[in-house]
Amino acid sequence: MPMATPMPKDAEPGSRRARTRGRRARTLRAYAFGAAGLLLAGCASMPNSGEIRQVQGSQGVDSQVRVFGVPPADKAGAAEIVKGFLEAMTSDDPQLATARKYLTEEAAKSWKPGSAVTVLSAGLDRSQIRSERDPDGPRWKVTGTKLATVDERSAYQPETGGERYEEFLQLVQEDKQWRIATPPKSLVLSESDFQRIYMPVNKYYFAGGTLVADQVYVRQRTDPDSRMDPTTQTVQSLLAGPSRWLAPVVETSFPTGTELRTGTKSLSYDGQNTLRVPLNDKVDNVTQPQCQKMATQLLYTVQDLTASRLNRVELLRSDGKSSALCSVTDVNAAGIANRPRTPEYQYFVDDADRLVRMKLDIASEDQETKPEAVPGPLNAPPGFKAGSAAVTYDERRAAVVSEDGHGLYVVSLSGSGPMPPPVLTSKGTTKPTTLTAPSWDAAGDLWVADQDPQHSALWRVPGGTGTQEKVQVAGLDGRITSLRVSADGVRIALLVEKAGRTTLWVGRIERPDGKGDVSAVSVRELRSAAPQMADVTAMSWAPRGRLLVVGRESRGVVQARYMLADGSMVAASLPGATGLSAVAVSASEDESKPKPVVGYSKEDGIVWLPPGAQWRTVVAGGRAPVYPG
């Protein structure tokens, strides 16, 4: 049975009471709880004292608890050996040394589960198979339901069909002790054990001139195979290349074959918060611009793994003696990375069906926030009735769907003049068989879906003014009811309705001028992004490639959660989501400064959740709030 040593919990974040202001912003009745922290808590250090208690192999997720396997007892029966081995696989033993003690000498030497992991929705079931064809000893069948796999590049691959896992463990006598001769090819963990042992990290690659987050999993402590610490595991994964899902649309600046210098097991920071990374001879002759892009990928990949701010990354030559290849500071890297610009306004449609905006200055809770009509032809007499909108990242143009949902218009947010003709129209007769809310990508292309049952389709308008193009969505099974393109322009989140149920999917956008053999823009390899939810009602992209999702689990209440885009786990939950409208939530993807989450409450209107504060009403009426994008 594994033994667990309890660790001290981090203190729960407090909440602040909303203050009154000139035009009083009410604290929502539905959101009476303090805001939850949005980041995963870090691991605490090992205490020097404390009670030691026994635990089962599969418990609730708790990264503060370290679990260690117990070696096999002398003359243990075959059933005890199987049970002990399966539990030892879930331990935090950095070299899986205890688990290997349950194997034969030959199997212990050859067993290399590596980074591959099979994740089960629950623990393993095991049963002995009695057969005269196994004269060497008993065989045990271990089974379970696959939730996901983690491949050799540490990428999480969800299983949506409930595939059955099955493996056979052959036991033999070795020195009069039962031992396992055929261990599983990979680690096999329950979902709770997986989330306790592994942590999600983002590594970064380029799509054009923009950095794209590629999420993978590394062990929270030393990897048993490579002996690398978490930071070094993450860097090694970055050097190995992008995940298979993202690889067709991104590229790395590192030359093929780039690895850490032989023998590197840990990477450290100096007193000036500089990370020095020793590399092999594949990089010795790269140009300075290429080297700086390499360093930028490393800086963004590693910056979330340290409690202190990472100010500089320096790449070292293979000989360890010459001067550094190059270095970048966090300021230099921001210019190279081409991250989303900081939005100046947040937008929504008011009670008069006008597109309006609000300044994003939340330095003081006492500040009164007043909406203003956007400039340009949208609000010129006699006035255009808007239903939903999207604003470009530079906030110079708006794409607006008319109040009846039939027409999509692209309008300048400066100057004057008449309303232009629509760039796209729907053949649907009434909502919700008309156009969805639109979305801009970082390249300036406009996306929208037509919900008309007879002509349902995903459309792209190049540059917002070009000829509309119908986009093929491979594997789509249902009708698109909402969409959001990520700021990096290579992923699209889709709400898909089928048989009265709405689910969330993320697809990869492939373009003819990018990697991949395609002749037109298409969406490929849809994967479920919220498998835990029975019904999803609203979603938005959030910082670091995550999703903010509103929905409910089976027989559950409506909740708002930050989720990882590969569908692997919940990063954090927002309290009091039962008051949110079915189609109204938005988060800014800008990472430079936290922005409030904005939503629509049927009871309270446009609501904000500023960082570290409570939900508050900012405008009593209105609908369809959005950030640029």
The radius of gyration of the chain's CA atoms, rounded to the nearest angstrom, is 27
Query: How is 384-423 classified by DSSP, letter by letter?
Result: --EEEEEE-TTSSEEEEEETTS-EEEEEESSS--PPPPPS
21 neighbors 368 (Cβ within 8 angstroms): yes
Q: Which amino acid is at 148?
A: A
496 neighbors 545 (Cβ within 8 angstroms): no
> CA–CA separation, 18 vs 67, rounded Å?
42
> pLDDT exceeding 90 applies to what percent of the chain?
53
* Residue 470 pLDDT greater than 70, yes or no: yes
Q: How confident is the model at residue 532 (pLDDT cuts 50, 70, 90)?
A: confident
* Residue 393 pLDDT greater than 60, yes or no: yes
pLDDT in tens, 477-512: 999 999 999 999 999 999 999 999 999 999 999 988
pLDDT in tens, 330-376: 999 999 998 778 899 999 999 999 999 998 875 444 456 789 999 99
Q: How confident is the model at residue 587 (pLDDT cuts 50, 70, 90)?
A: very high
Q: Model-level pTM?
A: 0.84
269 neighbors 310 (Cβ within 8 angstroms): yes
405 neighbors 438 (Cβ within 8 angstroms): no
* Residue 37 pLDDT greater than 80, yes or no: no
7 or 270, higher pLDDT: 270
* Residue 314 pLDDT greater than 80, yes or no: yes
Q: Which is nearest to 211 in space by CA: 148, 282, 296, 152?
A: 296
User: Residue 531: which region, alpha, beta or left (left: phi > 0; alpha: psi -120 to 50)?
Assistant: alpha
37 or 543, higher pLDDT: 543
> CA–CA separation, 248 vs 507, rounded Å?
12
490 neighbors 565 (Cβ within 8 angstroms): no
Q: How confident is the model at residue 571 (pLDDT cuts 50, 70, 90)?
A: confident
pLDDT in tens, 218-230: 988 887 777 788 9
179 neighbors 169 (Cβ within 8 angstroms): no
Bridge partners, 214 (sequence order): 203
User: Residue 624: which region, alpha, beta or left (left: phi > 0; alpha: psi -120 to 50)?
Assistant: left
* Residue 78 pLDDT greater than 70, yes or no: yes
Handedness of CA 201, 203, 208, 209 (dihedral sign): positive
Q: What pLDDT is stored for residue 414 in this prediction?
A: 87
Hey, is 239 helix, strand or coil? helix
Q: Which residue, chain included where needed, has tokens 């196994």?
A: 134
The architecture of the domain spanning 345-626 is 6 Propeller (2.120)
Q: What is the residue-averaged pLDDT of the chain?
A: 83
Q: What pLDDT is stored for residue 246 in this prediction?
A: 96
> CA–CA separation, 459 vs 422, rounded Å?
14
> CA–CA separation, 323 vs 288, rounded Å?
13
Q: What pLDDT is stored for residue 362 in this prediction?
A: 53
Question: CB burial class (10 A; 0-12, 13-18, 19+) of residue 593?
Answer: exposed
- Write down how long the chain is: 629
* Residue 63 pLDDT greater than 80, yes or no: no
Q: How confident is the model at residue 527 (pLDDT cuts 50, 70, 90)?
A: very high
Q: What pLDDT is stored for residue 594 in this prediction?
A: 82
Q: What pLDDT is stored for residue 421 in this prediction?
A: 94
Residue 507 in tokens: 């697809």
Between 187-201, 363-377, 439-453, 479-493, the lowest mean confidence (pLDDT) is in 363-377
- For range 47-55, the mean pLDDT: 31
The segment(s) of the chain belonging to CATH 2.120.10.30 are: 345-626
pLDDT in tens, 247-296: 999 999 999 999 999 999 988 778 788 999 999 999 999 999 999 999 99
Between 84-88, 430-434, 456-460, the lowest mean confidence (pLDDT) is in 430-434
pLDDT in tens, 122-139: 878 888 876 555 566 789
> CA–CA separation, 538 vs 517, rounded Å?
33
Residue 375 in tokens: 């400039």
The DSSP code for 34 is P
